[in-house]
Homo-oligomer: A and B are copies of this chain.
Amino acid sequence: MSEPTTPERIFAAADELFGSMGYDGVSVRDIAEKAGVNKASVFYHYDSKDALFERVLDRYYTAHHEALEDVWGLVGDPMSRLHAVIDSYIDFMLANQRYPRLIVSMINAANPQHLEFIQRSTGSLFNWTERALGDITPDSGPLAARQFYLTISGAVTNTFIYAEAVAPWWGGNPLSEGNLATRREHIHWLVDMCLEGLARERTDV
C-alpha cells in the first residue's frame, strides 16, 4: 500500500467536497487545503476547476455504467432481473453516496455542460429500463416504461438525497443498515405491486 500521489490526493479531496457542497460551494483553495497540497498544484494537475469537476463526474458515470452492465449480463426471468437491477442500483448508491448529491447539485447549475451530463446519465439508464420492461409495458400512456423509470429511480435516489432532511422524523439515520434494509424491502414491494398491476392490465385487454 503506497502513499497516494498528489493528483490522487487532489482528486479524492475534490470528490468529497464537490459531493457534499456542490460545484459552486467549493473553491480550489478548499480542495488544496483538504488535499494538503498547494493551490497552484491543483491547476498544474487539472488545468481548471471545471475540468477537475468533470473528471470527478466522469468516474462516477463510468462506474455506474459498469455496475449496470454487470447485472444486465445475468440470466433469469424479467422479474428476478428487475429485482437484481434495483439491488445493484441501491448498492451502487450506497457505495457512492456523493453521486446522487452531485447530480442534484448540477440540476440548478448555470453551466449547460452539466445539464448535458445529466441527460446522458439518465438517458442510458432509461434505455436500460426500456429494454427490461419493453415486453410488459405499453409504448405510451401512464404505464409506459419511462413513467416507471422516473418513479422507481426516484424512490432509490431520493433515499440518499433526502436522508439528512428526513432524519429528524424518520427514527435515526435513514441510511443505517437496518433502515436501509427496510427501505430496500419497500422498493421491492413497490416493484412487485407495479408488476402485478401491469399483468392485470394486460389480461384485461
Contacts and interface: CB of A to CB of B under 8 A. Distances in A.
Interface residues of A, number: 52
Interface string A114-155: 010011001100110000000000001111001100110011
B142 A189 contact: yes
Nearest to A108: B22
Chain A: interface secondary structure? helix
Given A126-B169, A150-B166, A154-B154, A193 B197 contact: yes
Q: How many copies does the complex hold?
A: 2
Contact of A20 (B108, B123, B165, B189): B108
B162 A108 contact: no
Contact of A142 (B140, B161, B182): B182
B109 A151 contact: no
Contacts of A168: 119, 123
B25 A108 contact: yes
Given A150-B162, A154-B158, A193-B197, A110 B21 contact: yes
